[in-house]
Amino acid sequence: MVVNVASEPPAPRAAATHRVSAEIDLDALRGNVRALRERANGAELMAVVKSDAYGHGAVPCARAARRAGATWLGTATPEEALALRAAGDRGRLMCWLWTPGGPWREVIEADVDVSASALWALEEITAAARACDRTARVHLKIDTGLGRNGCQPADWPDLVAAARAAEKEGTVRVVGVWSHLACADEPGHPSNAAQLAVFEEALAVVARAGLDPEVRHIANSPATLTLPEAHYDLVRTGISVYGLSPSPEVGLPQDFGLRPVMTLRAALASVKRVPAGHGVSYGHHYTTAGETTLALVPAGYADGIPRHASGVGPVLVAGKWRTVAGRVAMDQFVVDLGGDTAEAGDEAILFGPGDRGEPTAEDWARAVGTISYEIVTRIGARVPRVHLNADT
């Protein structure tokens, strides 16, 4: 569910209107894109909006990113790219995660750039381009060391030669050569320089074959922030567009002028006094130490709150950080307010930018042993995204 709100001042009192909602500050997103463009120092910027813009809502985030100067958008799947076209996006757009028999023709006809890591993909692309009498825009992907998708260097000359032949035939235009880094979130890791060296060799093969791509690209967010020699013509930024740092090693968002875009809040569904020795939630893994106040936060693992947050997840309620008491259930969890009071309907902030004293997505990631990427991306479909500041 996507809720669009043009502009709304912050609520004076902490009373939430939704059971749970993810507020998406598009003004912060635009500021992040501008900060990243400055960092990219002349390279173009692709805002990566895969997986519903890392849980932030693909269409409004894509629009805001374009407005702030993202000349490219990127998605993983062709379906994600087609959804952006259906929503009216018309700029440069690339998708890269393909399987045999994918919707090549629809994507080519929608003017979306595609990626090829292997001959089978190039063959399906040329067949689709012939069928619709178009020239497909292709980015050839080299595996410079990540070991995921991408053409192995040993097979690269064959892929490049086949692409060159298809270009002569008019079915494709090789507009990009690209790769992806394995350890950019660990600045100084030796594999970063090693991958760039392999990339240079792959580019030399491309030049010798007579191809002249518009854009060479290998940098994700961490490389955009910390590895200028990886910027080339285009940087592909995902997590940093949403104001989160790729890793604590890279730094804090504010070190780079980034501001977290998502605030996850809930309205307390119950507040009540209970006696000492009261068990809390499934399995009774928490028992009240004395007479106390329990508050019920109506968000659970179906909303993307990790069950691993049981007993460890942080949440701001009644002005203080609390910890999830007992297990996270499908729809709800409990916090122990101790001697403090609150009322049903009062706001609980699970995470946000952090400047109102609330935890951040990074705090949640640390608490549950994951990365902030997973915290925001897993927020469930039943949590409404409330987009603020869409048009300022």
Closest CA to 248 of 159, 372, 335, 156: 372
In contact, 306 and 378? CB cutoff 8 Å = yes
User: Is 294 in a helix, a strand, or coil?
Assistant: strand
* 330 annotated as belonging to a binding site for a ligand: yes
User: In this complex, which beta carbon is closest to ligand PLP, that of residue 144 or of residue 240?
Assistant: 240
Residue whose CB is less far from ligand PLP, 75 or 332: 75
The residue at minimum Cβ distance from ligand PLP is: 238
Least distance (Å) between residue 221 CB and ligand PLP? 3
Nearer to ligand PLP, 240 or 263 (CB): 240
The CA-atom distances, in angstroms, between 207 and each of 178, 193, 344 are 14, 21, 66
Closest approach, Cβ 317 to ligand PLP, in A, equals: 30
**Closest CB to ligand PLP among residues 230, 348:** 230
Q: In angstroms, what is the minimal distance from the CB of 329 to ligand PLP?
A: 30
Q: By the 8 A CB rule, do 73 and 49 touch?
A: yes
**Active site residue: 54, 141, 242, 282, which one?**
282
CB of residue 219 to ligand PLP, shortest distance in Å: 8
**Cα dist. 106→97, 115, 132, 133, 136 in Å?**
15, 14, 9, 12, 11
Structural contact between residues 98 and 115, judged by C-beta atoms closer than 8 angstroms:
yes
Dihedral (Cα; 168, 180, 99, 156), 10-degree rounding: 40
Q: What is the largest CA-CA distance in the chain?
A: 80
Residue whose entry in the numeric block shows the structure tokens 């990009």: 176
Q: Which residues bind ligand PLP (CB under 6 A)?
A: 48, 50, 76, 96, 180, 220-221, 236-240, 246
Instruction: Give yes or no: 272 in active site.
Output: no
Residue 148 labeled ligand binder: yes
Taking the least distance from each CB to ligand PLP, the nearer of 4 and 149 is 149
With respect to ligand PLP, which residue has the nearer C-beta, 252 or 344? 252
- As beta bridge partners, residue 236 has 46
Tell me the closest approach of the beta carbon of residue 5 to ligand PLP, in angstroms.
26
CA distance 168 to 87: 34
Name 295's bridge partners.
271, 335
Q: Catalytic residue at 282?
A: yes
Least separation in angstroms between CB 188 and ligand PLP: 17
Hey, what are 137's tokens? 């825009």
Secondary structure letter of residue 11 according to DSSP? P
- How does DSSP classify residue 171? S
Report d(CA 345, CA 33) in Å as an integer. Answer: 35
Annotate 63-122 with DSSP letters as a single string.
HHHHHTT--EEEESSHHHHHHHHHTT--SEEEE----TT--HHHHHHTT-BEEESSHHHH
Shortest Cβ 173–ligand PLP spacing (Å): 21
Residue 273 phi, psi dihedral angles, 5° rounding: -85, 140
Instruction: Extract the tokens encoding 336.
Output: 């122990």
d(CA 28, CA 297): 27
Nearer to ligand PLP, 108 or 376 (CB): 376
**CB distance 187 to 151 below 8 Å:** no
Residue ranges of the annotated binding site are 148, 330
Output the known binding site for substrate: 148, 330
Active site positions, annotated: 50, 282
